[in-house]
Amino acid sequence: MKSLFEEMGGTYHKENGYLIPDLSLPTKEEKPIGIWGRRHLRYIKKHRRLFYVNLLTGGGLNSYLADINEQAEDMFFRLVKQMSESESITEQLKAENPITWVARMNNIRSRAIEIVNHDIIYT
């Protein structure tokens, strides 16, 4: 009589007198998670432990973090572009007064990082 595992195509191997099921995780393409994904990973490990464990054991952690990274990156670049346009930070300013341009762009980048952290990473 076959077990349900065998009926579904599963196999066993013998090890030290015991039958051990031949199990393996499905192969999935590992996507790069980037800096935003790593930040969110630290957050969910510390503050949303059950959610993290479910993603990890379900095999969806990498793709979830890659998606978070992509969303955060898109939002960051969109915010930087919109803020620099609304504050009239142009290539002309960059050519005429590079120090002012760098200071203003750093300010915009800092604000954009704070918004992305608040809206995507630490939620």
Q: Output the pTM of the full model.
A: 0.75
Query: CA angle at residue 33 from 27 to 34, to 5 degrees?
Result: 155
For the residues 3-21, what does the mean pLDDT come to?
87
pLDDT at 49: 96
For the residues 23-47, what does the mean pLDDT come to?
89
For the residues 51-64, what does the mean pLDDT come to?
93
Distance separating alpha carbons of residues 91 and 89, to the nearest angstrom: 7
pLDDT at 80: 98
Percent of the chain with pLDDT over 70: 97
Burial class (CB in 10 A: 0-12, 13-18, 19+), 37: buried
pLDDT at 19: 85
pLDDT at 25: 65
